[in-house]
Structure 1
Amino acid sequence: MSKHSLLVIDDEADYGSINTKNEEDPTSINKKIRHILSLFSKSAYVAYTATPYANVFIDHRAYKEDIGSDLFPKDFIYALNSPSNYFGAKRVFEEKMRRNVSYISENEIIPLNHKIDFKVKVLPEKMMEAVQVFIINIAVRNLRGYRNTHNSMLIHSSRFTDVHKQIEKYVNEYVYNLIVKIVDYGKLPLDGAEIQSEEIRQLKEVYNKKFNLLEFTWDIILKEICDYSSTGSGNEIKININVVGVYSKSEKELNYLDKATNVIVIGGASLSRGYTLEGLSVSYFLRNTIFYDTLMQMGRWFGYRSGYEDLCRIYMTEKKADEFEEILNVTEDLMFDFKLMSEKGMTPGDFGLAIEENPDSALQITAKNKLKNARALKK
């Protein structure tokens, strides 16, 4: 293959391609990438990642005769600027008001550090509120002219499949009962609907609390919910919001069809990397991880939210929101160094890169086996 040139593009460059073992016996994916590159007289490896922490700590001197050098970005690191319409960590967590964040109590019914045999007996109050917000969001997007677009909600509150299954069951029941009540009473005169139905009264309270700047009045919203949320009636009623578990051995599969799909997605690790949730507007996030990269990759709510950014809500503890902000500040410092290095015309090996880790914080940059080449320096 000496006559041919090769370009390898790695779009998850901080994950499987990092060598987390000794250089004498590299991890499988790392070894195979390096071997493929070594087969060509001219080859280039271009790495993309939203969380470049582990890449900075690849050993720039590592070399094996049969597969060549490790994947340290020796030639350049280029920091891409976020487009103005990108709904990213800076927009969500840096603002003092954090208008897109709704706090969950540390004493929620599902504790952060629950075990594999944890039994879910009822849905947390804030999770039910998040579902209500999602139901209103769909109505608002429809009224804004986005009827033919997908709408998604994420519930990421455990790392255990059995807990996901329990949550899926309870959410399914809650959504069904809520929509049936709304359809049964929602077409009554407003006062009558609220008197007859506790569910409609609660939904209106959520509307008043979370949507006070909305351009549509409550009566218009309620009518739209009644129109979109179900088809049929009585025993033949079909709810137009699907609840889907995305985890191992799940009986359902998440498919966005040609027609608009409204879906509540429940899952854990399977949703952390490379998983796109179309039209995601509500996230209920209750996970406990200490690594910068893992936490940022769990943020499925980052993305482009044109036309409904004001509707986006992320439910999490205040402590978790503070941790996201801490990582944001560290990442901005790292991006500044990347740009400074580029302006000076220096390579990463010449410049020397560092990532700040707060000794008073529980957060760590990345897994220890990705930090094996790092040295601790005092600021």
Structure 2
Amino acid sequence: MAMLQLDKLTKRFGHFTAVKDLSLTVADGEMVALLGESGCGKTTTLRMIAGFTESDEGVVSIDGRVMNSIPAFKRNVGIFFQNYALFPHMTVAENVAFGLQTRRLAAAEVQDKVQRALTMVRLEALAHRVPKELSGGQQQRVALARALAYQPAIVLMDEPLGALDRNLREEMKFEIARLHRELGTSVVYVTHDQEEALVLSDRICLMNRARVEQIDPPETLYFRPQTRFAAEFLGESNLLDCTVSRTPNQPLAQITVTSLGLNLQHDAPAANGPALLMLRPESIEIETPLHPAPADALRLQGVLMERIFLGPMTRLLVRIGSSELKILKRTTSMHELRGLELGTPVDIWLDPERCHILKA
């Protein structure tokens, strides 16, 4: 069942179109990330769902009910912002209780829901502290508890981890994942951070210049992007010009990558003519005596141009013909290549299944 449905939402501010014809369905218990660059329309979309911004066109439905004429305070949504928005003079428990009290719940019910929410985020021992006595991560947990306290139909999260340092972001990322898994609440999660979207979401709605670029599960969006923008925005990629030649009644097309001197057969959906071959850096293998290429691999020889230590990963740059390929390998698997000098020939191989063809 669809907990949230957006149908052709459009929002303009004067002559500027912030969101154009956006359609999206969020199932009951699903977490969907709105991912994209700053200014692409993510937060405007969230504000239209919450009722803070009125759409110019389109329909917002929550739990089967059209919300366009319903004010924000009557929509059954919880909201979790980046800036916490905690009342400094109130205790943790009072901050969590505030939203419940505005809904005129009985005092006993408010107390029960506050206790349950604080237990969920593991802050029950800090219920009587005020925000200035809490760490940044603890303040975020209070804001999260407040958003979840009255068990809304859907929770809206707008860059909730953006103000935290790296270690706290990692901690809160997995805290949000745990709570979503345990509670099964529908969530729309706005972020510009690719890793957050990949780790947390069931599906990603990638936005570009006010429009939806692609909506898919994280693995599909990462390994099978539909456009050049999607391929370049989500992680690193090698994009190479190629030509698609398809013979009628044949399931596989002939792909020619002139810059690599490479030919392969592929079930590419692209029409005959110019296209792009996408290779993720971690999908390219280095051939060694202990790691030989399988019989069906695509084998190439190049020259090692660069090697950069990145801690757990090592980044290589290999020139093949007129192209340079970025390769990313686990540092622990690099012992066979440690003595390899820059400028030395290297053999690489590709799994045809990891090659992806895009429209040019």
TM-score where L is the length of structure 1: 0.29
Bigger proportion of residues as strand: 2
Flag the structure with more relative contact order, 1 or 2, with Cα contacts below 8 A and sequence separation at least 6.
1
Bigger proportion of residues as helix: 1
TM-score where L is the length of structure 2: 0.31
